[in-house]
Every structure is written in structure tokens, then in C-alpha cells.
Amino acid sequence: MIDEAPILTIAKSFERPPAELVDALAGMLTSQIVDAMGGSGALDWRIKPIVPGQDRFFGVARTSDCGPCDNLAMLASIADCKPGDVVVTTTAGYEKAAVTGDLALGMARNQGVVGFVTDGMVRDLDGIRDMGVPCFARGLTPNSPARSGPGTVDLPIVMGEVVVQSGDVVVGDPDGVVIVPRARLKEVVAALKDVREVEAATLKKVQDGLKLFPFMEELLASQRVRRV
């Protein structure tokens, strides 16, 4: 006979990234970060900002897995958040009930949370706007969830086809959300310098009248193109 299953499973600890590396991502675009990671890291395109204008954040991921139609693990995650954290909650993409609303997001704000991300739904749009915490989700529904579990907190989750762990860095902007694994943070910060320099140089050329990428000019003039 097995014992009764726990309602919540919570990791005792996780490794936080160096603050200076987290801060180095301030102002970076999600598209630039994806390029710096070789075209990876972006969550499912349907996870977008719910409130126009409240669509930019960066911080340390705090994961929770609520499963469908429940938010107990998300509430437990908020309880231990620190200033600068981002609550990242998976519902397995459940769309028939919200995983949170304005009140829980207000409590998260009071803990210093700077962003909320879910692959599920949220509710209370007007209240979410008033709370001021950037909220990224698949959409809105007035339906409420249960609070019965089971769920996990600060353990690895899969969201939008990307593995997320507490201690990773999360960045959101109008294009969507990108996860930077803690183990790759130093590498990505270094690569971003080159990405931004190349983008800035190309933008200057476009503003000066550039009509086509040089590699496209070469390709179109080569024998690799057949005109019929």
C-alpha cells in the first residue's frame, strides 16, 4: 500500500543566477536574445501580454505546475517569491478556466514579483491592469479554477515546448517570452553584444537606403538561382 500522495511538492532550494548577469538583460529585445541563443528559447507564440502597455519585464523564474483547472501550486509559489522574480506557471495549456486573476497578481506584486507567465488563461482584465504586473497568457476567461492540487513548486516544468527551471531568466516584450537557462546566461550576455552591434549597423544601412541584404544580392546573381 502506498501513502496518500502529497498535495504539493516543493523544491527545498534552487540556484539563483548572479544579479549582474540578470540585470545585463534589461532593455534587451526577446528577438535579440533568441538570436544570441542560436534561434532558441522562445515560448509558444500564443503566450502574449494581456494588457497593452504592460508588456515588458525581465527577472528570475519561479516555476509552478498547477495542472489543468487548478492554481494551488501557483499560490504556493508566490508565497516564497523575492523582489525581481517572475512567476512561471504551467497548466498544460488548459483553456477552460483561468489560473489566476487580479487578486493573486496583486499579492505577487506585494512580494516584489515583476512578471507573470502562463500557458493557460487568466481573468479579471480590469483588475490585472490596475495591479500593474505584466501578465502574459494564452487568453482570458471568467471561469475560475479549483485550489486542490496536486502541483509542484520550483521544480522543472515544460511550458510552450521549452523546459523552464527556477533560477532561469525570463524576458518578456510585445513579441512574446524567452527563457534564458541559468547555465547559459553568461554566454548569452556575451553574445548579445555582437547581436546588437550587427543589428545597429544594419539598421543604419537601411536608414541610408539599403534595399537588399548583401548575401541576397550575391545569391540572386549566382548560378544557384534558376530563372524560368
Q: Which residue ranges make up each domain of the chain? A: 8-200
Task: With cut-offs at 50, 70 and 90, classify the pLDDT of residue 1.
Answer: low
Report which of 6, 27, 36, 52 is spatially closest to residue 185, judged by C-alpha positions: 36
The mean pLDDT value of the chain amounts to 96
Contact 88, 157 (CB under 8 A): yes
Nearby residues of 104 by Cβ (< 8 Å), 6 or more positions away: 71, 74, 75, 78
Distance CA 105, CA 123 (A): 11
Kindly report the pTM of this predicted structure. Answer: 0.93
pLDDT attached to residue 160: 84
pLDDT attached to residue 2: 64
Per-residue pLDDT at 3 exceeds 80: no
What's domain 8-200's architecture? 3-Layer(bba) Sandwich (3.50)
Distance CA 121, CA 154 (A): 21
Q: What is the mean pLDDT of residues 49-75?
A: 97
Per-residue pLDDT at 128 exceeds 90: yes
Give the whole-number percent of the chain exceeding pLDDT 70.
Answer: 99
Per-residue pLDDT at 29 exceeds 70: yes
> Which one-letter DSSP state was computed for residue 223?
T
Q: What is the mean pLDDT of residues 16-35?
A: 97
Distance CA 216, CA 64 (A): 45
Degrees, nearest 5: CA angle 98-123-118: 55
